[in-house]
């Protein structure tokens, strides 16, 4: 199963570009988690829910790598956690 995550940092930004890319990539609407919250925020409830929803063999799909976090360390920790759980990861624009 593919699980998508889309995020903007501010409420005046639009999620449409990310959502359309996730849909085009084959992520079903009911498996797309979206929110408008800064990556620096301590709580990203939809991101946490997307991670919890991922099971071994699933793929977490994002539009860009920076949707996962702002620091390289945070990105590495998230991707390593997914790998340890047997969850694949794909960034649409970077081709991961």
Convert the pLDDT of each residue in 25-44 to its tens digit. 999 999 999 998 876 777 88
Tokens of 2: 């593919």
Question: Is 27:2 a contact under the CB 8 Å cutoff?
Answer: yes
- Asked which of 15-19, 58-62, 66-70, 75-79 is least confident by mean pLDDT, the reply is 66-70
Cβ neighbours around 31 below 10 Å, total: 16
* Cα separation, 3 vs 42, whole angstroms: 22
Residues labelled catalytic: 9
Question: What pTM does this model have?
Answer: 0.89
User: What angle do the packed helices 45-53 and 72-84 form, to 10 degrees?
Assistant: 30
């Amino acid at each position: 199963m593919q699980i998508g995550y889309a995020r903007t940092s501010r409420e005046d930004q639009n999620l449409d570009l990310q959502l359309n890319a996730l849909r085009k990539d084959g992520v079903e609407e009911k498996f797309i988690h979206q929110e408008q919250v800064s990556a620096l925020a301590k709580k990203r409830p939809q991101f946490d829910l997307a991670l919890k929803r991922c099971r071994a063999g699933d793929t977490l799909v994002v539009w860009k790598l920076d949707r996962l976090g702002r620091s390289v360390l945070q990105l590495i920790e998230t991707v390593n956690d997914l790998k340890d759980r047997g969850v694949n990861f794909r960034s649409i624009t970077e081709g991961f």
